Amino acid sequence: MTASRRYFGTDGIRGTVGELPITPEIVMHLGYAAGKVLASGAGLRPGQHAAVLIGKDTRISGYMLESALQAGLSAAGVDIYLAGPMPTPAVAYLTRALRLSAGIVISASHNPFEDNGIKFFSASGNKLPDAVEHAIEARLEQPIETEASAKLGKARRIDDAAGRYIEFCKSTFPAELDLRGIKLVIDCAHGATYHVAGEVFHELGADVVTIGDRPDGLNINHGCGAVHPQALQEAVRANGADLGIGFDGDGDRVVMVGADGRIYDGDQLLYVIAAYRRAAGLLQGGVVGTLMTNFGMEQALSVLDVPFLRAAVGDRYVLEKLLENQWQIGGENSGHIICLDRHTTGDGIVSALQVLHAVRASNRSLAELAQPVTLYPQVLVNVRVSRGFDFSSDVSVTSAVQDLERTLSGDGRVLLRASGTEPVIRVMVEGPDEARIRALADQLAGTVAQAAEKAA
């Protein structure tokens, strides 16, 4: 393995614009490195010339980073297709539909506008294999050697990208159903779904009110969208809507709001999709969640005899476990939901349509469909420790965890995990009584702190 993962995290490269690695120089070099790796045949079909699709969200820095990527790719001899502002899952779809070598998304997802990032999709619309990311990392260490003029990559803009994606999203909703008679409020977070989401639901028959659809480069995710659903709650009530649907800045995350203003998170929406498919005989295997999936959702699935597995936090790991078990649906409580029989990656619009499919086909409200899920309170305590402290090898900590699990007697959950970015152990306790689990979480956090102090 190379000196890898200097730049790549679990979901591409991300950071503050103007600071390493999100600078024009590094991003141009990244485009060149990715282009050379792709042109060498990594991920290419036989006889295929390397060509890459670039899409972005609505951050003002997207203009700069798009130009830098384009310059690097062209210097490497790779052709470029420019989609403009498009949701992340749209780039995955278009890369596959246009038979391109790879797709690149310029986005920092739900982060504020000051941040940005770069993530890649393979020709099949999946995240790039680790081996290809490692090869790109290694190539970044080498200088740019521009191809001869006759071999430079060409660029063209895809004028019908939005229309293609709208039709794709509509195709994931059953042809025999429509959304007539439903009034929806759609919150696009001033992000990449601003010009496509409303059209999808409108063309399926819904009465649509769209908010968060006036991006100015600086207002993405600001007080709106899936991360800040209060604006959606207010708009649903003000417009007398049946439901609200909120996306994040790059459109791969969704939350929903009922007519009464109640918020439904990713765990509840995933349950609704799974329960409907189970009842209709359409569920293949079980459901994948993460370590942070609410215990109440797991219990509700167990009542239906639906198998459930937990992956590490991150949609990449959810996808890996789905593929490993040949299952189709999984997701996170943040609203990243993957339906592999509909798309290769998490897609907020497609996920919302799967929920609406269940609502329409069952002729029941979202509130009724989600009712079996009683979300347990989760208490999270961060304990600062010295770097390198391994809580799993400390007898006092492991013993305390076992005692706490016995105390909960299967009616709750304990989770300890080390932060990947700072010297912190995250202590999470989940159970039906918030006051009780808060006391238990504080007690366990105290044990971890004492153990860490002795080990220092």
Q: What is the CATH number of the domain that holds 139?
A: 3.40.120.10
Say whether pLDDT at 203 is over 50: yes
Q: CA 202 to CA 222: how far, in whole Å?
A: 25
Which conformational region is residue 36 in: left (phi greater than 0), alpha (psi within -120 to 50 degrees), or beta?
Answer: alpha
Question: Quick check: is 202 in a domain?
Answer: yes
- Residue 3 has a pLDDT of 41
Are 297 and 268 in contact by the 8 Å Cβ rule? The answer is: yes
Domain match, 238 and 295 both: no
Domain match, 259 and 270 both: no
- Residue 4 has a pLDDT of 43
Annotate 194-251 with three-state secondary structure. CCCHHHHHHHCCCEEEEECCCCCCCCCCCCCCCCCCHHHHHHHHHHCCCEEEEECCCC
**pLDDT tens across 76-119, in order?**
999 999 999 999 999 999 999 999 999 999 999 999 999 999 99
Mark whether 101 is an active-site residue.
no
For helices 266-280 and 348-362, give the axis angle rounded to 10 degrees: 50
Domain match, 246 and 214 both: yes
Question: Quick check: is 294 in a domain?
Answer: yes
pTM confidence score: 0.92
How many residues in total does the chain contain? Answer: 456
Domain match, 210 and 75 both: no
Question: Quick check: is 355 in a domain?
Answer: no
Domain match, 40 and 154 both: yes
Domain-ending residue, one of 137, 160, 183: 160
Angle in degrees, CA 7, 13, 15, rounded to 5: 100
Q: CA 353 to CA 246: how far, in whole Å?
A: 13
Say whether pLDDT at 2 is over 50: no
Domain match, 70 and 47 both: yes
Residue of 312, 28, 8, 29 lying closest to 131 (CA atoms): 8
Domain-ending residue, one of 129, 160, 191: 160
Q: CA 355 to CA 138: how far, in whole Å?
A: 43
What is the maximal distance between C-alpha atoms in the chain?
A: 72
Annotated catalytic residue within 74, 101, 109, 122: 109
Domain residues for the domain of 220 are 175-263
Q: How many domains does the chain have?
A: 4
Domain-ending residue, one of 232, 263, 294: 263
Question: Quick check: is 115 in a domain?
Answer: yes
Domain match, 26 and 135 both: yes
Domain match, 181 and 89 both: no
Alpha carbons within 13 angstroms on the beta-carbon side of residue 78 total 33
Question: Quick check: is 5 in a domain?
Answer: no
Domain match, 123 and 83 both: yes
Q: In what order do the strands lie in the sheet with 308-311?
A: 308-311, 287-290, 329-331, 337-339
Token pair recorded at residue 375: 């979300």
Q: What is the CATH number of the domain that holds 436?
A: 3.30.310.50
Domain match, 44 and 64 both: yes
Are 119 and 12 in contact by the 8 Å Cβ rule? The answer is: yes
Domain match, 220 and 233 both: yes
**pLDDT tens across 219-270, in order?**
999 999 999 999 999 999 999 999 999 999 999 999 999 999 999 999 999 9
Q: Where are the alpha helices (DSSP H) in 335-428?
A: 348-362, 366-370, 395-408
Question: Quick check: is 2 in a domain?
Answer: no
**pLDDT tens across 128-173, in order?**
888 888 899 999 989 999 999 999 999 999 999 999 999 999 999 9
